[in-house]
Structures are given as C-alpha cells and as structure tokens.
Amino acid sequence: MTSNPRAVPDVVESSSVVPLPTIRAQRPRAANGRFISTPGPVTAELPGEVALPDDRFLDREISWLQFNERVLQLAGDQDVPLLERARFLAIFASNLDEFFMVRVAGLKRRIATGIATRSASGLEPREVLDEISLGAHELMGRHAALFRDVVAPALREEGITLVRWEELTEEEQTTLAGMFRSTVYPVLTPLAVDPAHPFPYISGLSLNLAVILINPQTGHEHFARVKVPPLLPRFIELPGDNELYATRYVLLEEVIAAHLEYLFPGMEVHETYTFRVTRNEDLEVEEDDAENLLTALEKELTRRRFGPPVRLEVEEDMDDHVLDLLTRELRVHRAEVYRLPSPLDLTALNTVADLDRTELSYPNFVPATHPTLAPVERSAPADILAAMRAGDVLLHHPYDSFSTSVQAFIEQAANDPQVLAIKQTLYRTSGDSPIIDALIDAAASGKQVLAVVEIKARFDEENNITWARKLEHAGVHVVYGMVGLKTHAKLCLVVREEDGALRRYCHVGTGNYNPKTARLYEDLGLLTCDETVGEDITRLFNQLSGMAPKSKFKRLLVAPRSVRSGLIGLIDEEGAKGAEGRIRLKLNSIVDEAIIDALYRASISGASVDVWVRGISALRPGVPGLSETVRVRSILGRFLEHSRIFAFGTGKNARIYLGSADMMHRNLDRRVEALVPISDRDQLKTLGALLDRGMSDEIASWHLGSDGQWRRHHFSAEGSPLSDLHAELIATYGARRRPGRRR
C-alpha cells in the first residue's frame, strides 16, 4: 500500500467496448450562486469538528443508473463470451424494470402526496425525475441498439438467429400456423375498445399488441389490445436444419400478429404495434400486528397489479395517433414514453443465453467442497458439526459449494437425533429448496423448529407466503419477524445435546439460503461454535419470535440498534490513527449520510479508505480537503458481488466483520441485520487479502472519480488486459488442498 494520498496509475480504455453514453456528471447544485444545504443533521458543525461541504453526496438514483450502465458495458465488451453478453442485456432490462417499479414509482408517489423532500445530493425530487428520464432514455436506446446492431448480428454469425415472420419459408409459416391454432389461439383474449367496451386494464410488464382495425362495411377505425401470453415461450424455436449448431427463433408476438384474422374475423387489420407498461409495484402494508400481516400482504399483492403506470415502452414506428390513445387512456406523460426498436422486453434473451453452446459461454465451473468439510473417506458422508467443533469455517460462495457446506449443515442437523432445535431466518429461497425440506423433516422428527420468514421480501412475497404456509402445515413454528422491520439477517442456529450439556452451532452469512443463487452470487458465511456468538444469536432469535426488546449483544452488531453506531465507532478509531489508520469496506451500496460523513472525517485525518461497491455510491472520493485518501471501485462480471465485509486496521490488530447489511437507511433503520466479527487469524488474513486484491490496480474494475463519473479500467498503461477477479479466484480456490491431503 502506498502512502496517502494515493495516486492511481494511468490506464487505457479498451477499444473492444462498444461506445456507450455516460450519465451526466453529478454536479453540485446551486441556487443564486450558493450551495444548497442538505437536510438533516449531517453537516458537522460541532466544536472541534471540521464543517463538511454541502455538495459532498452523490445522488443515489443517478448512481444506480450508472451501475446499470456498467452492466451494459459488459454486454458491449467483445472479450465477454457472446451468450454471456446476451445475458447481460437481459440483466440490464430486468434491473431497469425493478428500478422503475420501485424507485421511480416511489419518487412519483412522494411528489403526488406532497411529502417529497430535497435529497442529500441537493436535488429536488422533480429534478431527480428529470435526470432519471434523461439517463434512462439514453441508456434504453443504447441497450436496444446494442442488441440490434451488435449482439444480434454476432449471434447470427454463430448460427443463432431471430427470424422475422416474413423471412420464414412457406412450410415454416404453415407449421407455425398449426401451432398457433392448437396452442396459442385458445389462450388469447382480444379486447376491443368501443362504446360498449372501455379501454382494458394493461397489467404491469405484460407485452401487448396494439391493433388498429377497420370495419370494411363502415370504414370506421377501431382499437383492440391483445396480450401476449406470458406463460408461453416468447422465443419459439424453429425446427433445425442440417447445419451444425444452427438455432433459429421467431417471436411469439410475431406469430400472433400474423394470425390476427382468427381473432377479428370480418375486420381488416390495418396496423399492429407492440407496447409494454411498467407500473408501481412496490408494496405498502400497514402492520397493525403480526397476526394480520399475512392477510394484509395477500390483499396488497392483489392490488399490486393495479398500480399507476410509471413507464410506457412502444415500438419506435408506432403511429402518433395510436400513441396518443395509449398515453391518454393510460394517463402517461410523454416524458414517460420510450420509443424503442423491436423487440421490446429483452429480458427474454435469457432463453438465448441458456443455450448449450459452451464455446460461447464462460468456461464451465463447478464449486468445490471446502477442504475442511470434505469427508476423510470418499464413501463416507462429511461430518459438518465435527468440523465446526474443530474450529470456525469461513465459506466463500460460489467458489465453496453451498450444497456441501450450508445445506449439508442444516440437513445433518435435521437428521441428527441429538439436535433438539433448529432456528432459521428465510428471506428468499428457491421454489424447490432443500433447506425447506430439511426444516420440515426436522419438525417431523420432533425437533423444535423456528423459521423466521420475511414475507415482505420484495418481489418474492408470493413465494414466501407459499413456503410459510407449507412450513406451518408441517409443524414448524413460523413467525414473520418484528412489526415495522424486515428481517434481512442470514442466520441459522442449531442446538445439540452433548454429554449432558447443550452446544450451539451457528451459521452467519451475507447471502440468502437459496441453493440456486448461491451458484451465481458471491457471498461469505461463517460456520462457528463460538459460545458468545451462539448466545447472541439465541437472544436475537428470541427477540424475533418473542418479546425481548432490550436484548443486548456481546459480539454481534445488530441493526437497527448497533450497526450504524458500532461501525461509526470503528471508523472513528481508525481516523484517530491519522495516516496509520486503514478502513476497507465491501458493499452492495453505500448511501447512509452518517456513515459517509464518518469516512470523510477519517480521510481528513489522513486514514486510508477503500470502498469496494457493486452498485450505488453516494460517497464522493478524491475531493481535495475532503476525501483525498478515499478510493471507490466496482467489480462486475461472471458472479454477482454480494458479500459485505467491514475491515478496520491491519495486521494483528485488524478487526473484520461480515454480515447482511448494506450502508443504506433501510438496512440500518428498518431491517434486522447482523454482523459477526471474525476471530481466526488465518481467516482475517484471507479476508484482508481478498479486499486488497479487489482494490488492486492489477484487477479489472471501474473507478469512481470526484466528479461522480465511473471510468472502466481493464487495460494497463502498457495495453495488456488486467486480471479478471472471478477467473482468478476460480483458479485460486481450485488449487486448494484436496481431500486426502489434509494435515
């Protein structure tokens, strides 16, 4: 590590990346030549403290758009395998859908109700919406053009083709006509608009055909809407020819559009366009008591479909009179209309990305069993509990297999007759989760099983309600956390009787108990028998399931009580060391003003501050006199960086926590979160090395500048490619000691 302030070596940009727009630099906002003050007690004005400038926070919404721009850059990178580029296009589209459904919808709702206030960045809510509109229009246009002009032609060269209806042979059209009549036509519901039929309700994220019909007898024009059935395959694969690896698709909406005469016999189909509406789908549930929460949420899920529109996507050649009709009936402002080349809704590109073309995908990767958890004899099952008794086990997913570590831990506990109780938090899990099955098996065998199910996990509410009901019917004690708080902590507690006494086995993680996402998300977990950690987690579960509002924790930092204050205390301690202080954070997002201000104070004191963030950063690095020693970097790629690490100091005095909390208001004030300290010296070194490597100038990443701009660094000054962290870690973990070579 170089001394402070630290200079970043020059690097050159890759010429292989398709040029993309840059979201406009976040600039200080001024009125009448003066800086606008930020709300709340965030400016240090106390005696002996340095007053911090009012323009020190970047806007969180603009920062999120910049994050999605980084995803788009990966889709345009010719060094990324082609099918993975298609997947990044789908991820970009899915990310933006959620952004509009939640963030944009929330802004519009607050403006409409008159409760919106100026953001910490100094922008009025209406200004934020304007910035979002500018950035989103630009990025969505580039996204569509990137697929049409770059990725689709590249796929075509590899024999993967999206064929238009008019390009099909007569034989193929005949075959598809038969498929339409037998499979598609029966599930279509044409909805016409006339005095007897009002404009139909358009569900959020549905793909629709706007059809202009002419009655040949009267010459009158009519409008009709046909919904593209979401449960049918969007990409219809055509019968293959003799060409090796040739895969051809036609879009479902094109097949429907070619057969509209079946839906409107006697009418002339004059014009057909596709369109798509995004609605406010963020839930608002008043929690009077936990008993009514499940019922209230089920009702709110029904109302979700009827939220007000926040975005209208239409084909770029849609006639103005059709667009006028849609905007009028949907009550959408023209600024919320996005004209795009077809096809709309590129989330469907996941179908293409899932093709079995290994030469066009990332190299095959199979997670390995953590060496400590591997069975001594290959034919014998691993004893996870015995490994935990020998010492703490630090897991790093997806490099360490989830199924042979966390999943195996819970399954072993469920089948162990000496285990008396299992307590588990569930935020998101898969539909066929073996974790759920293990908890049901444990309850069936007479164990006390508690599941804290967060049914308010956004967009997983219906799945979680289903599994909550299933667990209840199996005899599992199911609770829904604490009123007013989401339970986001990732915890599992196993209580086992051993030699007449009880021993606690614990797992604390950064990611969900979801075997499917564990193969794609980068996360950390700690398996431990530490007595104090076990006592803390027991208290926390008692707080979640019962009445224990004054629980105190010895080792864990728990939100909403002590995560913010505890971390600020640790930051301040490092700041007090001056240039000897060192702070390293790995996060999904950092927005909280109090945390950011503490980092600014530490930087002003001379401490080095490294922040490795996947998504949003309101922290402005490299500002003279404010954050000269702060570096903010982002890594995106094969795996979704999801772990949270909080490291303070170095060497023997280093303190490192891992857990589920991001530095956002919702995590620190409105969620139950838990951070656990790491005590094993080797594990402290491992995490420290990971943080250092992620921030290294040798690793491909994006660097945030003091102007609020993210700049991609993936080539050295000499023009050689920088290392890909995920590929490097796959190789590193793959080279670990194998079973049978353990000491």
Q: What positions carry a catalytic annotation?
A: 488
Contacts of 439 (CB under 8 A, 6+ apart): 410, 414, 422, 424, 449, 451, 471, 474, 476
Structure tokens that stand for 277 in this block: 């509406």
- Backbone φ and ψ of 11, nearest 5°: -135, 160
Alpha carbons 413 and 623: distance in angstroms, whole number: 52
Sign of the C-alpha dihedral computed for residues 108, 114, 120 and 124 taken in this order: positive
Residue with tokens 């994050």: 67
Nearest to 111 by CA among 123, 102, 124: 124
Cα-trace Rg, the chain: 28
Alpha carbons 340 and 145: distance in angstroms, whole number: 9
- 344, 346, 348, 352 alpha-carbon torsion, rounded to 10°: 130
Bond from prior residue into 308 cis (ω within 30 degrees of 0): no
Structure tokens that stand for 605 in this block: 């004191």
Structure tokens that stand for 245 in this block: 């690896």
Nearest to 322 by CA among 270, 252, 400: 270
Over the range 18-49, which residues count as b (16 or more CB within 10 Å of their CB) and which as e? bebeebeebeebeeeeeebebeeebbeeeeee
Over the range 620-640, which residues count as b (16 or more CB within 10 Å of their CB) and which as e? bbbbeebbbbbbbbbbbbbbb
Contacts of 183 (CB under 8 A, 6+ apart): 232
Q: Work out whether strand 608-613 and strand 630-634 pair parallel, antiparallel, or are unpaired.
A: parallel
- Kind and range of the H or E run holding 498: strand 490-498
Q: For 729, how many CA atoms within 13 A lie in the half-sphere containing its CB? A: 23
